[in-house]
Amino acid sequence: MRSGSAELRDVLKGSFDCWWQADVFLDGERVYQNLPVLSVSTNENATSGIQYTGSLTVAYQADDGRSISPVQMQDALSPFGSQIALYLCVSSGPFLERVLLGNYLISSLPQANTTWGIVNGVQYAKGDLLQVQFSDLFWRTQKNQFDQPSAPASLASVWGEIQRLTLLPVTKNIADSAIPSSVAYQTNRLDAVYSLATVLDATAYITPDGTVSMRPNLWPVAADDITGGDLGTLISAPRSMDPSIVYNAIVVRDVAGNVLASQSVTDGPLRAANSDGSLSPYGRVPYYYSSPFVTTTAQASAYIAKNLPRVSTLRGQQRTITESINPLRDLGDVVNVTRIASGVSVEAFQGRVQSIQRSGKTQTLTVQVSQ
């Protein structure tokens, strides 16, 4: 979860007011603070290359008649290096706390409108309305492709190599490891970062403060409870089952396409074959994996032992949760969800957040359900 006080967590479970603000940075310096922003929409997806994206509208009226609408590439709010820190302000009675959702690069400025007026022959800006699209800092890493095939500078540290590739500070939240073998990076620098993270059994991501950290593939302990029904913030949680993301076998290949190891589920509803060798009702649905860091049969077998239970069970059922907006919720969070009727729990499940869409005063989560 994102950082917030214990009092804030209590406030978010009840009735509160909220509004968005943004600070704008250019070349490391804050040039605008507490800009009022409207129509904020954020999209967070743990399986996307750029995991955090969104859009907003800046509505600004300067006391001195200035316009902040960018005209040249070096102007603040232009999509040529400007960054925006997005905050949700939460208040309830005397309580007020500003939560940092993230530091983002302005990736596009689809529209910029300035209303002009004239007083005593002098032109002034009545106000600006700017549509802004933003992406997390991996957007810059993705654009900075390799000039030519290259190799890690050192095999001593995954964290060190990721910091070298991204040129960003890192927050080391899990143990480091040596890079198991050298590899020739091809084109996409961000692909190399994600591939290196698999060595740590994790997914790299950008934290709200703009550092690179790791989201472990192993589920952490539950970070929060979501309650709905007679009380709480849960609005709805319909169930869905998607077989397109459920596998009952893993085949690991080397980069040349040769099979290093394979294994299938042998019992239960997801068995790949019946005991007599005939095809099971679900059939055989293999997940194919290849990594430049998995080069031996032993490494491939270890990958299968760790990941076959994950792809065949944890991804089997999804729930789409709509709840009151909560800026602390983040990708990878494990949440306990309970629906209460007449003071009695009528449904309870645990899930891990895979995506978040925020708009208005609500947000929609997609969670993988623990089975």
- CATH number of the domain to which 323 belongs: 2.30.130
Q: Do residues 171 and 83 both lie within one domain? A: no
The helix or strand, by DSSP H or E, that contains position 299, with its residue range, turns out to be helix 297-309
pLDDT in tens, 166-222: 999 999 999 999 999 888 898 999 999 999 999 999 999 999 999 999 999 999 999
Same domain for 116 and 44? yes
Contact 366, 355 (CB under 8 A): yes
Q: Are residues 187 and 232 in the same domain?
A: no
Looking at the structure, do residues 34 and 103 belong to the same domain, yes or no? yes
Angle, to 10 degrees, between the axis of helix 158-166 and the axis of helix 189-199? 160
Q: Are residues 69 and 90 in the same domain?
A: yes
Q: Are residues 282 and 292 part of one domain?
A: yes
Q: pLDDT-based confidence at 236, cuts 50/70/90? A: confident
CA geometry: angle 49, 50, 53, nearest 5 deg: 150
Residue 233 inside a domain? The answer is yes
Residues 17 and 93 in one domain: yes
Q: Is the pLDDT of residue 243 over 90?
A: no
**pLDDT digit string (tens) for 314-354?**
556 889 999 999 999 999 999 999 988 878 888 899 999 99
Segment 96-130, tens digit of pLDDT: 999 999 999 999 999 999 888 888 888 888 888 99
| Residue 249 CB partners (closer than 8 Å, separation 6+) | 262, 263, 264, 265, 272, 284, 285, 286, 287, 308
CA-wise closest residue to 218 among 285, 307, 85, 140: 307
Mind listing the pLDDT tens digit for each residue in 303-322? 999 999 988 875 568 899 99
Per 3-state DSSP, the chain is made up of helix, strand and coil in percentages (nearest 5) of 15, 45, 40
Any domain includes 71 = yes
What domain range is 188 assigned to?
A: 142-216
Query: Is residue 1 included in any domain, yes or no?
Result: no
Instruction: Say if residue 179 is in the same domain as residue 228.
Output: no
Residue 278 lies in a domain: yes
Same domain, yes or no: 57 and 132 = yes
In the chain, how many domains are there? 4
For residue 280, give the DSSP letter: P
Whether residue 129 is found in the same domain as residue 177: no
Q: Are residues 326 and 344 in the same domain?
A: yes
Based on the domain organization, do 269 and 306 belong to the same domain? yes
Using alpha carbons, select from 164, 122, 119, 115 the residue that is nearest to residue 144. 164
